[in-house]
Amino acid sequence: MCLHILGNLNNYVGAILGKTGYVRNRSAEFSEKTTKEHLLKCLDETTEMVKETISNVDADVFDQIYSENVFGYEMKIDYFLIHLVGHLNYHLGQINYHRRILCYN
């Protein structure tokens, strides 16, 4: 799940909005084996990328149409970023649910 969240943010914020050159491999997000250390390193890098990308975008950009037609209809960048926050929170809730299963059983 963590790889999926990282891939999502690196793709939609980094590659598309920030032009980082990131290339997403969505299927690997669900099948790749990794370590805790690698996840933490990637989490730090992605956090910095999101902060840098959002802080370097001119405010008027948020009123523009997002370049990817993700859901079959156009939406402004600010609206899509709000969607990404909801997506992140949804998966963080799933991660917390699994954490509780592992820690309290």
Angle (nearest 5°) at CA 4 between 21 and 67: 45
- Whether 105 has a pLDDT exceeding 90, the answer reads no
Tell me what pLDDT residue 104 has: 84
Q: Rounded to whole angstroms, what are the CA distances from 12 to 9, 19, 42, 104?
A: 5, 10, 16, 35
> What 3-state DSSP class applies to 60?
helix
Q: How many domains does the chain have?
A: 1
How confident is the model over 64-80, as a mean pLDDT? Answer: 95
Tell me what pLDDT residue 72 has: 93
Encode pLDDT of 6-61 as tens digits. 999 999 999 999 999 999 999 999 999 999 999 999 999 999 999 999 999 999 99
Domain of 64 in residue numbering reads as 2-104
